Every structure is written in C-alpha cells, then in structure tokens.
Structure 1
Amino acid sequence: MSYYSHPAAANYNTTPMHAQRQRGYRICDQCGTPETPSVKFRLCGGCMTTQYCSQDCQKIHWPSHKTICQHTAAQVSKAGSVAPTAGYADEHLAKNLRKFASAHTTLLGWAGFQALQLKRVPANVRQNALLVELSYHDHMESHRRFSISSTHIVPRTYVRDALVIQDIQRREERCRTNGGIGTLVVILQCGGVSQVMPVEVDPPAKITWDVREDWPSVLNHFVESGRTDFKPISTTARGVVYG
C-alpha cells in the first residue's frame, strides 16, 4: 500500500462549515470562460449538463446545442418513466444522477484523472474511461441519494450513443485547440440509467495534481459523507497547493 505524506485533500479530515459548490472544471460551452466564484454558471434546463457563463452565451449556443439537448432531455424523460419499475423509488432518477454529477464535478474529474493515470500516460485519455457504478437510496438531498458500488476502467467505446460521442468529440477538438490533452470521460451508472460526464483536461505543463493510487477510497469517502467541497492537492515549485 502506498504511503502519502499528505491526505488527498486539504479538508479530508474536517467537517465543512456549510455546503460549497465545487469549481475549477467548468467552462462555458459557448465562449470557454472558466467558472470562478465571481462568474457563476447556469445549467441548460433541458439537458441539465451543458453550462454557460451567461444567458447571452446560452442563446448564441442554442442552434448548435439544440439537437443534443433535445436528445438528452428525451433520454431523461424516458429513464424517469421506467425507473420505478426497475426497483427505484424516485421517478426522477436520471435528473438526480445529473445533479450528483454536478455536485461532485471536481471529485469525479480528479478520480478519473487518477484512475486513467493521465499524469504518467496522457494518451490514456483517448483510449479509456472511468465507469462508476452507483447504488440508489432515499435521501432529502439529491446528491446524497447515491453510493459508490464499484469502479472500472473501460474502453471509450463503452459509450455508444452517437450524439453523445459527437458531443465528446466536439469538446475534445476544442480542448486540443487550446493546448489540452483531450477530454476525460467519466460514466456514472445506476441500474439502467447512465450519465456521461466529459471533462476537458489541461495541457500537461499545467497538470500539477499529485498522483494518488488511493483514489477509490477517497472518492467513496467524499460521496458517503455528502461532501461537495473536495480540494485536491497539487505539488508545485511553490510547494503544496490545495484546490
């Protein structure tokens, strides 16, 4: 078992004072502006996955986003109609899965980065994806209605929806144009419902996250405790940096 001089997160062993939305992985799907505490993003109400820095960007992007948005919204509606018969009490399972992904954006992106060993082998981003299987249970807070059942490294071909694949490729082209290594794919799955979470990864020179082999236990720790304030550790020339 590997020994680490620091925990995986600055606040790993502390209790948060209040709920805090994660930041650092979202960029506007229209103009590419990164989300910061002063620039709060809005999710598309149709697909609940695409994000924008402003209403103007959302309007400009709509003609190119319309097809994937309507497709995703239809999938959400279809999943909601079959979820109760599949043994899940909440008919809004698909929507809750998307809320879970939104609440744990940084944590899931970090786990995928570690699972695919992107710091050591950046090319893995083009071949594999992280599959996170979840179990469902009732809870007042939507992001706490899921627990980690298992995790697997799967080929990117696991994603078979043509429109979703096109959306991933679009993000990948944009990421590489900006000097990034590509789009990390994290797949959340609960029963027959799934959520594909694409994460555009920075250029190698900007990747400072420490390599961690204990990522499965860290992922489980923050999900089970309902923590949405994960702040990963980076080791830089300036020392250890959190977040």
Structure 2
Amino acid sequence: MAAVYAQPAAANYYTPPSHAPTKQRGYRLCDNCGAVENPAVSRFRLCGGCMITQYCTQDCQKRHWASHKAICQHTSSQMKQPVAPQVDENIFKGLRKFTSTHADLLGWAGFQALQLKRNSSNIRHKALLIELSYRPGADSSRRFSIKGTHVVPRTYVTDNDQLVAADIQRREERCRQRGGIGTAVVLIQCGDISQVMPVEVDSPNRISWDTREDWADVLHHFVESGRTDFKPISSTRSGIVYG
C-alpha cells in the first residue's frame, strides 16, 4: 500500500515554476580547502573535466589539480568512450549536464532510497542506481527520462573501478572528520554510459529532510517535467519548510 503524506515532497510539486528555472548546486565543500559554499555570497565552480568536484576559487582549483588530475582525467575519458554509430554523441555531454543540473534532486533521492535517516550504516553498503533513457531531439531539459531505479550493493560501483573507489573513500574520510556519516553513492546510467555521483552526507541529526517513501515518484516527476527547482520538505520545530 502506497504511503500517504499530508504535504507534498516539494514546495512547488503541483505548480509550474513562476520564473525561469535556475541551476541549483546545493550544499558544497571546496575540494581543496574544505570551505562550505554560501550561495548568497558566491557560487562554487565545478571542475569542467569531471563535472563533480567543486572549488571556492580558481586558485583552489589550481592548487588541487596535482591530486585531482588522475580521477578527473579518468572520469572524463570514461564519458568519451567510443560507442556504436547509432548512439547520439551528445549523450556524453548531456549526461554530465543532467547530473550537474539535478544534483540537489539526485542527492535527495539517494538519501531517501538508502533510508539514511533510519539506518545511517546503509551508506557503507548500498548505492542508488538510476537508469535513464535518452530522447534525441527532445527539448534540452527533457532529453533524459527515468527508466528505472534500483538500490544495489555499493560494491557494484566500487569493485569495478579502483580510482573511483579511492575518490569515494577520500571524500568519506573528509566527511566523517567534519562530523558527517560518509559518502552516499549515486550511479547515473544511460545504456553503456554512466557517471558516479558521490554525495557527502551530514549527520542525520542535523538533516531535517522528511523521510519519504515516494522518492522515486518525485524523482520521476521533476525529471520528466524538466524541472530544476526542486526544494525538499523539512519538518522543523518552527513548522514546515522547503529547501
């Protein structure tokens, strides 16, 4: 029996955005100095190679390049592997853009799918696999649709790629040093092309997101409608808030 909720999972779930959607980047840490992003002051910059690592300044990005180079080039090369002629080459660029644009939504879905608020130890053993279908020629915000979602063993990702596994472990150690529970793994896959999205998760005691069993429906809803303005619901002592 499907769960019934008094509030929608997002503030604008049932209504179209009142303005042009903006690119959300969510909670971020500089991969060099560990600074926390404050979007009201300045936005962090994404590494143009892997589209995953983020930095507070160009100087931090330059300083970190020596240690980031291997995983960056590895991730970029994986996204450029030769494919069958019938596959649209734009799928590579599109998948990276999809992951970056929907980072908040994908991270929230991973948190819910792994049930981290109920059992934080799941972060060490499980991962969320999101399968996509590609629709060439469609509107740029709707070229990918959700084909399926699966909770898989984390080893499904880490055992097949030692460089990715090492990068996840590095993030995990950093996250725990800051009082978090570790790094959730979300794997976005379209055919033979995939991208790993590591999500550093704060302590569940400091995360006010409501637990939602309808996360897959919410994920499908926002992706299919091309929405990038997802703001999850949180129940606090001050009442219901979104964001």
TM-score, normalised with respect to structure 1? 0.93
| Contact persistence 2:25–2:100 (CA under 8 A) | no
Letter of the 1:221 counterpart = H
Identity over aligned pairs, percent: 65
Give the stretch that moved more between structures: 40-49 or 65-74.
Answer: 40-49
Tell me the CA shift for residue 139 of structure 1: 4.2
SS at match of 2:152: strand
Tell me the CA shift for residue 98 of structure 1: 1.2
Cα distance in 1 for partners of 2:198, 2:108 equals 12
Say whether residues 1:38 and 2:41 are aligned partners: yes
Give the stretch that moved more between structures: 93-102 or 40-49.
Answer: 40-49
Structure 2 match to 1:227: 227
SS at match of 1:77: coil
SS at match of 2:5: coil
SS at match of 2:20: coil
Structure 1 match to 2:52: 49
Cα distance in 1 for partners of 2:129, 2:237 equals 33
Q: Note the 1:181-196 alignment, pairs <5 A.
A: 181-196=181-196
| Contact persistence 1:22–1:103 (CA under 8 A) | yes
CA-to-aligned-CA distance 1:142-173 (integer Å, 9 cap, x gap): 44211000000000001111101100000000
Distance 1:141 1:37, change over 3 A: farther
SS at match of 1:119: coil
After the TM superposition, which parts of structure 1 deviate over 3 Å for at least 4 consecutive aligned residues? 139-143
| Contact persistence 1:24–1:34 (CA under 8 A) | no
Structure 1 match to 2:145: 147
Say whether residues 1:29 and 2:27 are aligned partners: no
Of 96, 101, 104, which residue of structure 1 is paired with 2:102?
104
Structure 2 match to 1:61: 64
**Gap runs ≥5 in structure 1:** none
**Gap runs ≥5 in structure 2:** none
SS at match of 2:131: strand
Give the stretch that moved more between structures: 150-159 or 64-73.
Answer: 64-73
Distance 1:211 1:226, change over 3 A: same
Cα distance in 2 for partners of 1:77, 1:108 equals 23
CA-to-aligned-CA distance 1:157-216 (integer Å, 9 cap, x gap): 011111011000000000000000010100000000000000000112211110111111
SS at match of 2:80: helix
Structure 1 match to 2:87: 88
CA-to-aligned-CA distance 1:56-107 (integer Å, 9 cap, x gap): 11011111101111111221222xx31x43x422x13222111101000111
